[in-house]
Amino acid sequence: MADQATPFVQFSEVQKTYDGEILVVKDLNLDIAEGEFVTMLGPSGSGKTTCLMMLAGFETPTEGRIMLGDRELNNVPPHKRGIGMVFQNYALFPHMTVAENLAFPLEVRKLSKSDTVAKVERALDMVELSAFGNRRPGQLSGGQQQRVALARALVFEPDLVLMDEPLGALDKNLREQMQYEIKHIHEKLGMTVVYVTHDQSEALTMSDRIAVFNDGRIQQLAPPADLYEKPDNAFVAQFIGENNRLLGTVEEDDGSQCTVRVDGHMIKALSVNHDGRGSKTTLSLRPERVTLNPADGSLPNVFDAVVRELIYLGDHIRARVATCGDDEFIVKVPNAHGHLSLAKGTNVRVGWSMEDCRALDA
């Protein structure tokens, strides 16, 4: 994976402002290895598209530099970068047929007629649209257009492909199907992909690494599992997956573990990202890591709670309980054999291990 010695794409200290006042990208450092699938994930307006546009050459960085291989890209015009790109609304040329769309990048590269035809055919084959070469984009369904856009970005065999929310316009089923298809094509062709989305499940299924953006900065860059299991800060913990947040003050800290006072309760947690004794911290705890009525002494953190709401979801039950001063504390109770029968308003005990509770920035 990420080969730190020779990154294929490298953003170093990139900044971007459109109006000279607000930095929409702040101090971006990002290394992407050859063949990697990196996703930029973040809320709307966090600067993902801007980063992609700077890489593609449609925006220039205000500060800093972008490298592709051993080329510095800052002064290379877009058409000389050789980067494939899939746009959110596909940007298929409406006046050309599907085959003409695919042939376009090959024709401007002055490929011979026979090579062009062969490559277009192969690309259409790859996205299973061989029968549609003579149609106009307007005569295709959304999913088919998406495939054509993908094929067009790949047909000239770029080493790097950028995709800006390519599945944003598709319905859920089709989106999931296309996620797998894109993933398979990536595995087969081995190109480097930089993918932008604000759908976290999409990011989690597809990526080698995910860069979580917020407010023009990368909050965390990590493989999907790490991002979920080991969020670095409260934003990432909150943004990826479901999360219980408990706000408290660090009472004791030995560098790896700490004790946090939350609403008068002492909670043992893993020290990840707080400012030491006396500082405010956010405890992050995944709902599925909370055990209901644990055996005495099995867990370091056990507290009384009252069940406020129960939602039956088949494979598990979502329980909203009140504990440690938090009324919105969620517990996922697996629908296992012989599970407890819960009722609204009953008193229960909730417990969790020290490792599952991460003390992050406030």
Partner 1 sequence: MAQMTETADRILTTADGTPLKQALARATRRNKIRAFILVAPLLAFVLVSFIIPIVDMLARSVDNPEVQAAIPETVALLKDWDGTGLPPEPVFAALAKELSDKSKRSEIGRMGARLNYEDSGFRSLLNKSQRRADKVTSGPYKEGMIAIDADWGKTSVWKTIQLTAPSTTFSYYLNALDRTYDENGNIVMQPEWKQIYVHLFVKTIYVSLGVRIACLLLSYPIAYLLATLPASKGNLLLILVLLPFWTSLLVRTTSWIVLLQTNGVINDTLVWIGIINDANRIEMIYNMTGTIIAMTHILMPFMVLPLYSVMKTISPNYMRAARSLGANPLVAFVRVYMPQTIPGVGAGSILVFILAIGYYITPALVGGQDGQLISNFIAYHMQKSLNWGLAAALGAILLAGVLALYWLYDRIVGVDNMKLG
Ligand X SMILES: Nc1ncnc2c1ncn2[C@@H]1O[C@H](COP(=O)(O)OP(=O)(O)OP(=O)(O)O)[C@@H](O)[C@H]1O
Binding site for ligand X (CB under 6 A): 18, 24, 42, 44-50, 198
Task: Give CA–CA dist 18/349, Å, rounded.
Answer: 53
**One character per residue 46-65, x = contact with Mg ion (rule: CB under 5 A):** ---x----------------
User: Beta strand pairing status for 37-41 and 192-197?
Assistant: parallel
Note whether 166 binds partner 1 by CB under 8 A: no
Residue 82 or 133 with smaller CB distance to partner 1? 82
Task: Give CA–CA dist 219/292, Å, rounded.
Answer: 32
Note whether 273 binds Mg ion by CB under 5 A: no
Task: Give CA–CA dist 303/307, Å, rounded.
Answer: 13
- Candidate residues 3, 65, 72, 108; the one interacting with partner 1 per rule CB under 8 A: 108
> What minimum distance in Å lies between the beta carbon of 221 and Mg ion?
19
Lookup result for tokens 């996620």: 179
> What minimum distance in Å lies between the beta carbon of 50 and Mg ion?
8
Question: Strand pairing partners for 308?
Answer: none
Note whether 47 binds partner 1 by CB under 8 A: no
Task: Give CA–CA dist 362/238, Å, rounded.
Answer: 12
Residue 170 DSSP code: S
Contact 162, 83 (CB under 8 A): yes
Q: Which two tokens stand for residue 135?
A: 């149609």
Note whether 85 binds partner 1 by CB under 8 A: yes
Task: Give CA–CA dist 119/124, Å, rounded.
Answer: 8
- The region of 102-110, 130-138, 178-186, 286-294 touching partner 1 under the rule CB under 8 A is 102-110
CA 195 to chain centre: 9
Note whether 93 binds partner 1 by CB under 8 A: yes
Residue 49 or 291 with smaller CB distance to Mg ion? 49
Residue 27's binding partner out of partner 1, Mg ion, ligand X, none, with CB under 5 to 8 Å set by partner kind = none
Note whether 109 binds partner 1 by CB under 8 A: yes
Note whether 34 binds partner 1 by CB under 8 A: no
Residues that bind Mg ion (CB under 5 A): 49
